[in-house]
């Protein structure tokens, strides 16, 4: 029972991913007419491969030897067609000489009318025989599509022409050079960087960072300019890998109209694609783009193309006169031109925009507002309020023991206020990612698991404090240990969770300074803690007699510590100011992503 299920799964995988990753087995009947590989890229010009024949004339039933040769290639597709009309059906049939290298395909109604590869094994030479049919046109030309690798291929390379005896010359000239298929448009090359001078005037622009110069390798730039019934689109950014933008009805990836600019081995391919949920983009086999051009210079990848505003006949392409969220992403490209998931959160506009409407110059955010709020609240809670609250409870009991606030000792009221603030901020922050994701995130690693643990411990602390025994009760020491260990565990896990969260794609603070800054905060807190411990130890050493009934399990606090209250207050002031500085740095960083 398991074998059919496995077979079905394999069949589904091949069926779904075949159009995306090509046809390594050569069974490419789907492109019999266009001879265009479905690799989501445009063909190269100036092929280095030739198609020759051992004769120039033929009669019905003749066998003509046809050879394809040139630099190493992985795939090929050979047909014979009317030399005066390349869009006509395939002519005649073929006979193989090496079934390990080539195989016969049936295109249209003519059996064995094409030859293709059997595997991706590299080859330099292919020989077949063409059999002339009885209804052949007067002039027949051999055409070949050759694939060097996934994104590097040549389409309809013109080869030798054979003619029937004593036929007049054709009324139209033969094709002498390689021409791209009619559904793909020739690519030209840009000569200079894009300009942002017309942004907000005649162009609708999206820039990241805001107001950046498109000539800079650190600037992600996207512009739209309407020209009659079409839109001129410019996109530029770092030259490694790929750039892409998408139009979406919401701020989630899926069911989107996407456009990719892929740099592979210093050759750029520009294509359209359809995004389905979080799967790899489905590249289109037929391009709707015109006036395609690109440039690689000074570390910047530039792509330019034109697209009609309305494309009713093309499924997955949106009309450009409606409002959409705009995504702008970048990522890596592996050998063979396969694109990988963007390595950081895409830039997403904060609202929907009509790119053919009023020109604007906008930015965007690589982090959703709810995730920004989540990070900001957690930084406030676990960098500021909880740290100060712990210092106050640990070292300021003797200093503020005779000062009261609302009927309670001041140290206790300050400690309780800061800790309750921490619980409140953590609780609010905790629900924000669930609201944003609509549930549990499976792509955030250990961060959500540790976050849930911290949330549970944060709620447990005030519940436990509500049932604390009296100061001299027998169980008070046990409570003290549980209260300290729970709080310390929560703080340690919170710091680890923050470290993990800073590098998640949804927030992705700039590397590596975010890690260094967080390490700096940890060192700052530990340093202040150690300084106050040393200060307390030095005071205790001055005391000749220690009152045993005032020594507590968790702290080495004695009446002697009160003598150093001025020093502690100075240290606390410096510590609070330092924490505020760390907090401001993190909040500014969050606001800028």
pLDDT in tens, 195-236: 999 999 999 999 988 889 998 888 999 999 999 999 999 999
Q: Residue by residue, what is the 3-state secondary structure of 16-72?
A: HHHHHHCCCCCCCHHHCCCCCCCCCCCCCCCCCCEEEECCCECCCCCEEEEEEEEEE
Same domain? 270 vs 414: no
237 sits in which H/E element: strand 230-238
**Residue 508: inside a domain:** yes
220-227 and 204-208 beta bridge pairing = antiparallel
Which residues, given as ranges, of the chain have pLDDT below 70? 1-30, 40-42, 169-188, 277-280, 285-286, 313-316, 335-338, 343, 508, 511, 541-564, 592-593
Q: Are residues 376 and 348 in the same domain?
A: no
CATH number at residue 471: 1.20.120
Q: Are residues 455 and 382 in the same domain?
A: yes
Q: What is the pLDDT of residue 561?
A: 52
Same domain, 324 and 274: yes
Phi and psi at 363, nearest 5°, equal -115, -150
| 205 and 111, same domain (yes or no) | no
Are 410 and 425 in a shared domain?
yes
- The reply to whether 24 falls in a domain is no
428, 564: one domain: yes
Question: Which of 365, 394, 427 corresponds to the end of one domain?
Answer: 365
* 132 and 271 co-located in one domain: no
Predicted local distance difference test score (pLDDT) of residue 372: 85
Domain that holds residue 563: 369-592
End position of a domain, from candidates 313, 348, 365: 365
Q: Are 324 and 318 in contact (CB under 8 A)?
A: yes
pLDDT in tens, 328-359: 988 887 765 567 777 677 888 888 999 999 99
CATH number at residue 95: 2.60.40.4060
What is the structure's pLDDT at 187? 54
The verdict on residue 572 lying in a domain is: yes
pLDDT score of 183: 41
Q: CB-based contacts of 22: which residues, under 8 Å, 6+ apart? A: 37, 38, 39, 75, 147, 150
Q: Are 82 and 63 in contact, with CB atoms under 8 Å apart?
A: no
Domain count, the chain: 3
Q: Are residues 407 and 539 in the same domain?
A: yes
Inside any domain, residue 559: yes
Output the pLDDT for position 556: 44
Q: What is the pTM of this model?
A: 0.57
For position 527, what pLDDT does the model report?
Answer: 92
Contact criterion met (CB below 8 Å) for 202 and 307? no
Residue of 42, 68, 428 lying closest to 270 (CA atoms): 42
409 and 443 part of one domain: yes
- Same domain, residue pair 313 and 277: yes
Instruction: For 250-302, give the DSSP string.
Output: SSSSSSEEEEEEEEETTEEEEEEEEE-TTSPPEE-SS--EEEEEEEEETTEEE
**Are both 311 and 456 inside the same structural domain?**
no
Tally of CB atoms within 10 A around 77: 27
pLDDT value of residue 120: 87
The CATH number that applies at residue 219 is 2.60.40.1210
Compute the Cα dihedral for 184, 188, 194, 198 and give only its sign.
negative
Q: Residue 224 falls within a domain, yes or no?
A: yes
């Amino acid at each position: 029972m398991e074998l059919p299920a496995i077979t079905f799964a394999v069949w589904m995988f091949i069926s779904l991913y075949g159009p995306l990753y090509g046809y390594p087995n050569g069974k490419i009947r789907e492109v019999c007419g266009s001879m265009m590989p479905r690799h989501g890229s445009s063909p190269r010009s100036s092929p280095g491969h030739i198609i020759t024949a051992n004769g120039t004339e033929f009669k019905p039933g003749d066998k003509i030897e046809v050879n394809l040769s040139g630099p190493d290639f992985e795939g090929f597709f050979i047909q014979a067609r009317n030399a005066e009309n390349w869009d006509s059906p395939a002519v005649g049939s073929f006979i193989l000489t090496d079934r390990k290298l080539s195989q016969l395909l049936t295109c249209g109604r003519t059996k064995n009318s094409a030859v293709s590869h059997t595997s991706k094994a590299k080859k330099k030479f292919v020989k077949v025989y063409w059999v002339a049919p009885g209804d052949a046109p007067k002039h027949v030309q051999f055409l070949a599509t050759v694939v060097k690798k996934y994104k590097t291929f040549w389409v309809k390379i013109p080869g030798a022409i054979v003619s029937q005896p004593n036929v007049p010359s054709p009324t139209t000239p033969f094709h002498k050079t390689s021409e791209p298929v009619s559904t793909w448009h020739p690519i030209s090359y840009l000569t200079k960087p894009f300009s942002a001078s017309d942004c907000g005037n005649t162009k609708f622009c999206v820039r990241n960072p805001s107001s950046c110069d498109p000539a800079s390798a650190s600037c992600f730039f996207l512009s739209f300019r309407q020209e009659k019934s079409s839109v001129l689109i410019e996109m530029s950014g770092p030259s490694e890998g790929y750039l892409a933008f998408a139009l979406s009805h919401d701020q989630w990836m899926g069911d989107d109209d996407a456009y990719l600019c892929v740099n592979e081995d210093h050759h750029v391919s520009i294509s359209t694609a359809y995004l389905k949920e979080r799967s790899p983009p489905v590249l289109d086999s037929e391009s709707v783009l015109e006036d395609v051009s690109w440039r690689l210079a000074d570390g910047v990848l530039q792509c330019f193309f034109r697209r009609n505003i309305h494309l009713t006949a093309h499924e997955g392409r949106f009309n450009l006169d409606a409002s959409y969220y705009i995504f702008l992403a970048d990522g890596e490209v592996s050998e063979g031109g396969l694109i990988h998931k963007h390595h950081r959160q895409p830039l997403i506009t904060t609202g929907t925009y009509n790119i053919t409407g009023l020109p604007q110059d906008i930015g965007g955010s690589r982090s959703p507002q709810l995730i920004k709020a989540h990070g900001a609240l957690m930084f406030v809670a676990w960098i500021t309020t909880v740290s100060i609250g712990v210092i106050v409870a640990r070292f300021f009991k003797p200093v503020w023991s005779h000062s009261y606030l609302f009927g309670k000792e001041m140290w206790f009221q300050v400690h309780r206020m800061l800790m309750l603030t921490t619980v409140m901020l953590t609780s609010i922050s905790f629900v924000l990612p669930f609201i944003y994701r609509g549930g549990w995130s499976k792509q955030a690693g250990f961060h959500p698991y540790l976050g849930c643990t911290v949330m549970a411990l944060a709620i447990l602390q005030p519940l436990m404090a509500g049932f604390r025994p009296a100061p001299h009760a027998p169980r008070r020491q046990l409570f003290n240990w549980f209260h300290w260990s729970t709080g310390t565990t929560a703080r340690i896990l919170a710091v680890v969770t923050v470290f993990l969260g800073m590098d998640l794609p949804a927030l992705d603070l700039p590397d590596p300074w975010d890690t260094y800054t967080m390490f700096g905060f940890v060192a700052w807190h530990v340093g202040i803690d150690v300084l106050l411990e040393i200060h307390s130890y030095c005071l205790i050493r001055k005391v000749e007699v220690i009152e045993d009934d005032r020594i507590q399990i968790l702290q080495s606090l004695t009446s002697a510590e009160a003598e150093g209250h001025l020093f502690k207050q100075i240290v606390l002031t410096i510590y609070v100011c330092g924490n505020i500085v760390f907090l401001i740095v993190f909040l500014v960083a969050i606001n800028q992503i």
